[in-house]
Structure 1
């Protein structure tokens, strides 16, 4: 690879790395992807499968402040910090609180919208190119309410509609006309008409990986231990691997999700990347749902999958090393049973498969994208928080454009790694 002036190495074989690898090959680069566990071994495999373009609001919401103490005290609540991890997470939370300021929140929301507006189109193009259009289902999604005062429901509707999100306000009966299997306890719903989902997140990654290899790409399973890069354009970037091997290429892309922080540090950047531990309970029962259903009251989401029904949600801060907490996966089951009472009438949480993965989250809810100012041959694409699947196609296109020396379709200024300097 060291003799190839168009060679690129990508660190990370999740949905971001795979999508970007394909786009770079389409742009004429010779690409290798290296990952310590192989394709889609983390959040790309176990996510909720939701192309969530309705999520235009940063996670740093001042409205959550009054609810925060109760949420933190509940070990099975939707938002949790493991007590041992509290002090380590505190600097990130201070930055998170600062991003609740109205000016910053408005700025970050606009930056999220710019990516969302192009994300479905980019994914459509990518799935078509990879011959897996059946894995991208554009049937909208629902946010359902149970006994929530209509004033609060209307406020939520206005919140989305005023932000430019395509949404319809439904009665409980209208919700059940769309999804007859849902509980009679649902009184209202918001129907987001311009979003979608995949019924097999891992299958989507596998289709991308197959196309990547078919185009001549190389997939390596090994751990990167050291990055050696200079500020000169003409120099190669070297990666030393745990196996003792090394890789040289003309350009490098860090797309390692929650594991990107130490790589950025090696390159001279201190990024406020924190890990959100997300859970799912994969039930083997197949529902008749035709779209994802999120619960406003219960703070979780149900997605129909090829192999059953996925119950996903909750946010836990506990770092990369703490083991899965089985109870946090199991606590999703009673919520799933409440919304799908007939499907799970005879089921228990023990019937499902527990999973936990790491979401790479920045305090401003924006990813890190684009070229390093310190090393002209190094690029970044990580920190996609809850929207990695949603943004995979558009961020792949943007990084490919910049690496090719072209004008990017979206200005990358708001997403640069040096915004934290």
Structure 2
């Protein structure tokens, strides 16, 4: 089923910061930047499929006032280019990753940018009330969703509710006549109004962003089509609950403006786990079939999934009988019995100088290269995310190494991350990622 979210008519703004050098009370953490990078990837081809011109990336940018101006220009220009006066028919998503805090004599709730500073903290931050007003003025006929991955995030709902109530009481006639097509506002908040958000680790990621992306990439097989914001929040809560950490706040969804209905109840988000007959989605990457049996024989289903994976270069299944040379080399390289290996993927460079290798065993996957190793049991797959990326490496100065295009696979799991380096074809990385996601569904 085609998701309601239309990439061509969805706009996204991403902002926040990983360090606040002019505020000694807020410690820098690369986890914020890692989360922003993962989010940006999901907004693109690996997830929602938004074209680059529909995404404004302000993460780690200074100057709060300048950010207001850039957001305003972005919304104006894209609405004009898409023939969407006042944002009509658009979905606008605002994402913030960083720190939220209360500043000033009036204790304004603010979102910190990289150069927020004392003693003008409120004036050098993004005020939630000001952001709400900016979005309503520039795209009043749009649907607007704010994803706030920061401490005390749900405080934004109170502020936005107050601003709506105040304007309705003082200028009700003007609002009702000027914004008849307003599709509403919804907030996805990483923490309650009195709760701090959490990091998985200083150098890892924010827990809420990791769980949200896990939910979006995994989906829910119990629903036949796209997911609502509330359903996504429920899946995110389930991912966080699986960590067994009582200190982690659960995300909250708020809809401060329901004049045009409940935006959080609209089925907007793609559902990768929606039941399928195994045929490729229209215009998309072929998807592996979803195996649905009353009592899953996991090893049998895993073998079927390995057999069904699309073409992947340097990928070999281990069938019955004597193991192939690739399987034997992989067994020695990883230190496992060859009979435990179900399939092997290795780079074209072979195993010379400890090149990269990933094996599927009966109990989990193992990956290894020169710098890192990964050993992940299949039982941990429901708490993992699998994403892809691309890079171009130019030829060496001496010309001995030609330029190459590389696709990488990143496995983000509760204990950290592992990233491959040398996949050379888009189809290979897509098929291998689909296989990992299918195993994730089997274990969910």
> What is the TM-score with the length of structure 2 in the denominator?
0.24
More strand by share: 1
- Structure of greater relative contact order (alpha carbons < 8 Å, 6+ residues apart): 1
